Amino acid sequence: MQTLLVLTVIGEDKPGLVESIAQVITDNSGNWLESSMSQLAGKFAGVLLVSVNTDRTDPLISALSGLSEDLKLVIEKVNTRSEHKSAQVIELTLVGNDRPGIISEISQVLTKLSINFEKLTTECVSAPMSGDFLFKAIANVTLPSGLAIDALKEGLESLADDLVVEIS
């Protein structure tokens, strides 16, 4: 029987950090399934999904916990993978002028429509002509059955005249 572990890792970014995590997982018969990792302001931040035989779960957790005092690690046991078999997953691309609260506004629109984030990636980049900051987001979201995509697009576009919404 397999146990799934969701790990969050934060620490000073340095070469070999991912390799050391991967080696501990491998040494303890774990399997690295999925991950998302970034360097943010000089910090390494990662989220991983690992599977391991149930009888090897505690040794793996212990080994990961002892990996480094410089790492902040949170490990959560998960019984099964959550699957949205009947739900429609779409990708949203959003681009607009950056401003405080833009993520809050976007997430409020999605919450009101009962839409769930599956994945969200954001960045602020310099606009080509003006030098102002542009907010860019790519989100995979799960739509509830019966929700028209046009309702989602209208809700997001109502946030600002300059917010470009692409749905695929």
Q: What is the pLDDT of residue 167?
A: 85
Tell me the residue type at 14.
K
Say if 2-78 and 88-167 have the same CATH topology. yes
The structural domains of the chain, with segments of one domain joined by +, span 2-78, 88-167
For residue 130, pLDDT over 90 is answered with: no
> What is 2-78's CATH number?
3.30.70.260
Write down the pTM of the prediction.
0.78
Q: What is the mean pLDDT of the segment spanning 88-116? A: 93
Q: Which overall architecture, per CATH, does domain 88-167 show?
A: 2-Layer Sandwich (3.30)
Distances from the Cα of 10 to the Cα of 37, 44, 48, angstroms: 10, 5, 12
User: Do 106 and 39 meet the contact criterion of CB atoms below 8 Å apart?
Assistant: no
Which amino acid appears at position 167 of this protein?
I
Instruction: Give the confidence band of 85 by pLDDT, cuts at 50, 70, 90.
Output: low
Q: What percent of the chain shows pLDDT beyond 90? A: 75
Instruction: Evaluate if residue 1 carries a pLDDT over 80.
Output: yes
